[in-house]
């Protein structure tokens, strides 16, 4: 057993808790953005809320399906659903997680473009979903798409930091940089479990920074 395998086995199970934490943080951010939208009627705030709602649902699904796998509850579900393999349940769970996440990221990407054409958002979403349907390997497709989307989103937040030079903005730029590097590691992790752990830790750091930013925004 290699060191990577030992670390992976120790880490196994905690990822489910991480995903649950990401889901809750994303949901808090989404609710807050909708509250701001109610006050300001700014469409970008609504788009932000929608995108984080999709991201939150995506993490809830991932956490739930990982829980089913660890607790072995997926076996009776597999029997009830008449599925040939428990792996199919994980596959469907990942499929739903990827779809919600990519729609959330596409909405966030659209928000960063300074345009008001909903056709562009529709186009992005349809293109992303089509890529999944046509794909022979949904894992590579998802991590490749999310890395591309996150590259553009992160660039928007980095530019925003250079314009404003504020601590709060830096936190967001760093958080999305971590999410981008995390996505790259997940892409590599399809065949190497160790990259999966690095990806999860980078994601955790990103969400901690988002949470710190949220706290500082609320502070009077």
Partner 1 sequence: MNPKRDRLAIIHDMLQIISSRGNKMNPTQIMYKANLSHQMLGEYLNEIMSKGFVAEEIDKKGKKTYSLTEKGFGFLKDFEIIKKFFDSYGLN
Closer CB to partner 1, residue 99 or residue 171?
A: 171
By the 8 A CB rule, do 56 and 26 touch? yes
Nearer to partner 1, 117 or 159 (CB): 159
Total number of residues that touch partner 1 (CB under 8 A): 28
Radius of gyration of the chain (CA): 18
Least distance CB 30 / partner 1 (angstroms):
13
218 forms part of the interface with partner 1 (CB under 8 A): yes
Span from 4-12, 44-52, 143-151, 196-204 in contact with partner 1 (CB under 8 A): 44-52
Find the binding residues for partner 1 in span 142-181 (CB under 8 A). Answer: 156-157, 159-160, 163-164, 166, 168-169, 171-172
Note the residues at the interface with partner 1 (CB under 8 A): 32-33, 36, 39-42, 44-45, 48, 111-112, 156-157, 159-160, 163-164, 166, 168-169, 171-172, 213, 216-218, 220
């Amino acid at each position: 057993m290699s060191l990577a395998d030992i670390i992976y086995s120790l880490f196994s199970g905690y990822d489910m808790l991480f995903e649950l934490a990401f889901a809750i943080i994303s949901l808090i951010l989404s609710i807050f953005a909708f509250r701001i939208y109610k006050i300001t009627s700014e469409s970008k705030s609504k788009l932000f809320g929608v995108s984080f709602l999709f991201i939150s649902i995506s993490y809830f699904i991932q956490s739930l399906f990982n829980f089913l796998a660890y607790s072995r509850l997926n076996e009776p579900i597999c029997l009830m659903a008449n599925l040939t393999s428990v792996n199919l349940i994980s596959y469907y769970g990942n499929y739903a997680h990827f779809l919600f996440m990519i729609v959330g990221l596409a909405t966030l990407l659209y928000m960063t473009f300074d345009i008001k054409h909903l056709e562009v958002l529709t186009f992005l979403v349809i293109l992303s979903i089509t890529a999944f349907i046509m794909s022979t390997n949904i894992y590579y497709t998802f991590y490749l798409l999310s890395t591309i989307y996150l590259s553009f989103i992160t660039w928007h937040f980095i530019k925003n930091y250079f314009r404003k030079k504020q601590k709060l903005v830096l936190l967001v730029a760093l958080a999305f940089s971590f999410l981008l590097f995390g996505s790259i590691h997940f892409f590599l992790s399809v065949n190497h479990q160790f990259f999966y752990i690095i990806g999860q830790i980078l994601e955790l750091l990103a969400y901690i920074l988002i949470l710190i930013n949220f706290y500082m925004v609320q502070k009077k």
